[in-house]
Amino acid sequence: MNVVGGPDDGHVEAGDVIVLRATYGDWAVGPSHCGGDWAVNHVRGGSAEVGTIDACGTYTAPAVFPDGLALVVIEAADLNLANGCADCCPYATILLEPRP
């Protein structure tokens, strides 16, 4: 997974917006090809606590990260396989260290 917009130093600060592109072989999702199944900390679409991500790979960090949160894990998988792919999903992952 690659950062195509926003900070690209392995960290995320409260309120950051980061645009991501995920690829796996011929499969790709991101700002020019919306779709896929995006999750933040294993929650589809993310949550208010750890941040949200839309179908085009735009992650929006919360205004304040929860105390003790060590990593923000963003995953992307093929939407067509997300409900029946135990051994191949997610296709792409990025780990970001939150900063207050």
Domain count, the chain: 1
pLDDT given at position 3 = 95
C-alpha 56/C-alpha 12 separation (Å) is 18
Residue with tokens 């997974």: 1
pLDDT given at position 58 = 97
Q: Give pLDDT tens digits for 39-95.
A: 999 999 999 999 999 999 999 999 999 999 999 999 998 765 545 554 455 678 999
Instruction: Give the tokens for residue 39.
Output: 């999750």
Residue 67 is part of which domain span? 2-99
**For position 64, which CATH number holds?**
2.60.40
The most confident of the ranges 7-16, 33-42, 81-90 is 7-16
C-alpha 95/C-alpha 2 separation (Å) is 11
